Structure 1
Amino acid sequence: MRTIVVGTRRSQLAVTQTQWVMEQVRDRLPQGWQMEMEKMVTRGDQILNVTLSKVGGKGLFVKEIEQALLDGRIDFAVHSMKDMPGEMPEGLIFGAVTRREDPRDCLLSRKGEGLDDLPENACVGTSSLRRQAQLLAYRPDLRVEPVRGNLNTRYQKLMDGQFDAIILAQAGIARMDWTDKVTQVVPEEVMLPAVGQGALAVQCRRDDQELLELLAEVNDPVTERAVTAERTFLQAFEGGCHLPIAGRATVDGERIRLRGLVAHPSGTPILREEAEGADPVELGRRLARELMEKGARSLLEEVKKGLEE
């Protein structure tokens, strides 16, 4: 007999994602086991008036939850993989990576225009430097302004006329059953996704063997290989998931194709590279080295310096 306590942020999307994972696990629970959800508030949920890149990045959405895992107050947690910093605290592990949804970004516009049709100087809301950089590389005439808050809040700001359009992750929109609100799914050639976007990370304690065996049954090996390549690539840049870094791996049999991008928030310069291989860790490191040889490290140092000023 065991009650598994599952931790999640309180936003509607986070709860929806956590409920979905719990359903997958519930079908496999040993007799007499139960599950309950614990909704938590993270620092990232509390600080809404400053962009993430200014206050420490997306790790702000997971630190309190990771501490609850380490303290034993919860047994596993469900995160959007794209919110996970490159490094994980000692003692924690991904028990499962779920099958990936559409990893692309999408545009929601107030008047139904696609990215090519937005008028000059239109205001687009995003707090992601990755999205901002690629948006301005494609449409340098647009104005990009930060927008924070959960999906409902951001959508309301769009409808209230604060923005002409906003950019969100298509996977989150699909999980919220909001696909009818999407004006355009942005092609990856225009906007390469965030590392891990579209996948869910199920995090637990490394020494919880019985739970690890249970979670292994909901793991998707193909997504896990792709995400491992992407996260290894990110880790080479010291895990800055709030920086303008993008990575997208696709798996075909034993072969993995990994595309990576490092950019300046202004949209120029923008460095792109791609590589193929069978070992996700080796591939991620190799692609990072190739981009560093093109000047990615010094570019990111310049970006970090600008954020600290």
Structure 2
Amino acid sequence: MVIKIGARGSLLSRRQVKEVMGEIPHFCEWVETVGDRDLESSLGPMEKTDFFTREIDQRVLDGRCDVGIHSAKDLPDPLPEGLEMVALTEGVDPSDSLVMREGDRLETLPVGAVIGSSSERRDRVVKGLRPDLKCIEVRGPVDKRLEMLDRGEIDGLVVAEAALIRLGIERNRISLPGKTAPLQGKLAILARNGDKEMEAFFKKFDSRKKDRVLHVGLSAPKKGTHLPLIEIVPRDFESFEIKKAFADMEEYTHLIFTSQKGVEVFFQCMGHYGLKLGQKKIFAVGRKTAVALREKGLRDLEVAVEETQEGIIHLLALEDLGRAYVLLPQSALARPALAATLRIRRIRHQVCPLYDTRTRWPEVKPDLKNFDEVFFTSPSTVRAFQEVFGKVPKGMKVSAIGPITEQSLKLHL
């Protein structure tokens, strides 16, 4: 059997196809996507769209190709109707790197040096290390972008470490801190829904075991078993503490949101009092909290690269807060680090506990022997699991979102 593959025509994409297929008989149609042709549009609004995958996916849907092989981070969400992911590879190093000319170091780059980047997230990481650096958007194949660096058009280039590894490029570079694009470094193989032949063939490449993962957080996963062990209970909006905090809404200059649920309950409370937000500087912990705020119509946000209170504290260190008045709408169980920092810096603020997080006891407790892994999304889920199940069975894998939840796992389970 010769498998017909669709993929982008860049050198990196050709290496990715080789990584998957090796010596397996295949024919590849090298496709130019709209993302390859359009080098002017900013990638920001294109996140989670089919900008780099559309033409390839259409060939699979039309039957001209059996599968499409993509960088998993380029996949649209949701996937096009009629397609499914039959494999997600283990991948290579998911980090980002800052490539510089030989002999340069981050500390020795001149003030105002120009860094080529391709996302706001990467820009924030760079500026977190050197606020004086100027980030500009740079598009095109990795080798072409590196030529800009060599010609002196830019002084540094942020690029996925996985791309450098796959291309065999050895350049002067440093690894950047913080989270990267979801699924960066992994390759996704898409086929038509119900194509059992492709599903069976590519099963050996699939690193996922999500069908035997128990998810105990609030959000339902696309695959696996969802058993929410916590529930969010808003507090009485007419309580003295909440009424006092929302009475000063017009005076606040800064709002800091540390969770999606905090955003949801905050705007419920705003509706309860009939208040409008007005002009304020908004900070968000992580991408999901930022998405929740954008769904409420807020666009100009400061988003912490590190999805913890410490990430927000780092952002605030760069702010002039001499005349600020800050509101922290949050869970009653929120960690005190952020409020303590504001107190130490003598910044006027109010902490407003808007909701409680409680253990939700399942009607039927599943047998943990049916699962390979438990996935935790917050310290609250760790505590709830301990109440409901006790210890994690020996040999079972545990995964967590973020360092704080990982810390909680080590302490309690």
1:202 matched residue in structure 2: 189
Equivalent position amino acid for 2:7 in 1:
T
How far off its partner does 1:225 sit? 9.3
Residue 273 of structure 1 pairs with residue 297 of structure 2? no
Structure 1 window deviating more from structure 2 (42-51 vs 117-126): it is 117-126
Provide the C-alpha distance between the structure 2 equivalents of 1:197 and 1:55, rounded to a whole number of angstroms: 16
How far off its partner does 1:150 sit? 0.3
**Segments of 4+ in structure 1 off by > 6 A?**
222-226, 232-235, 263-267
How far off its partner does 1:165 sit? 0.2
Q: Structure 1 residues 9, 119: closer, same or farther in 2, change over 3 A? A: same
2:30 matched residue in structure 1: 39
Q: Structure 1 residues 165, 272: closer, same or farther in 2, change over 3 A? A: closer
The answer as to whether partners of 2:124 and 2:305 remain within 8 angstroms in 1 is no
- In the alignment, which of 166, 169, 183 is matched to residue 173 of structure 2? 183
Residue 125 of structure 1 pairs with residue 116 of structure 2? yes
Identity %: 30
How far off its partner does 1:279 sit? 4.6
2:51 matched residue in structure 1: 60
The answer as to whether partners of 1:68 and 1:74 remain within 8 angstroms in 2 is yes
Provide the C-alpha distance between the structure 2 equivalents of 1:225 and 1:141, rounded to a whole number of angstroms: 47
Q: Structure 1 residues 56, 86: closer, same or farther in 2, change over 3 A? A: closer
The answer as to whether partners of 1:110 and 1:164 remain within 8 angstroms in 2 is yes
Provide the C-alpha distance between the structure 1 equivalents of 2:300 and 2:107, rounded to a whole number of angstroms: 19
How far off its partner does 1:21 sit? 0.7
Provide the C-alpha distance between the structure 1 equivalents of 2:37 and 2:134, rounded to a whole number of angstroms: 26
Per-residue CA deviations over 1:195-241 (Å, capped at 9, x if unaligned) read 00111111111211011101001112379999x9xxx8999xxxxxx
Provide the C-alpha distance between the structure 2 equivalents of 1:266 and 1:110, rounded to a whole number of angstroms: 34
Per-residue CA deviations over 1:225-268 (Å, capped at 9, x if unaligned) read 99x9xxx8999xxxxxxxxxxxxxxxxxxxxxxxx833799994
Higher relative contact order (CA 8 A, sep 6+): 1
* Mapping of residues 1-309 of structure 1, within 5 Å: 2-23=1-22, 26=24, 34-54=25-45, 59-178=50-169, 180-186=170-176, 190-221=177-208, 261-262=286-287, 268-270=302-304, 272-273=306-307, 278-280=373-375, 283=377
How many equivalent residue pairs? 245
How far off its partner does 1:86 sit? 2.3
The answer as to whether partners of 1:106 and 1:182 remain within 8 angstroms in 2 is no
Look up the SS of the partner of 1:21 in the other structure: helix
Per-residue CA deviations over 1:168-217 (Å, capped at 9, x if unaligned) read 00011000000x2142122xxx3321100111111111211011101001
Pair member with larger Rg: 2
Look up the SS of the partner of 2:286 in the other structure: strand
Q: Structure 1 residues 97, 182: closer, same or farther in 2, change over 3 A? A: farther
Provide the C-alpha distance between the structure 2 equivalents of 1:105 and 1:234, rounded to a whole number of angstroms: 26
Look up the SS of the partner of 2:22 in the other structure: helix
The answer as to whether partners of 1:261 and 1:270 remain within 8 angstroms in 2 is yes
Q: Structure 1 residues 135, 266: closer, same or farther in 2, change over 3 A? A: farther
For structure 1, list consecutive stretches of 5 or more residues without a partner in the other structure: 27-33, 236-259, 292-309
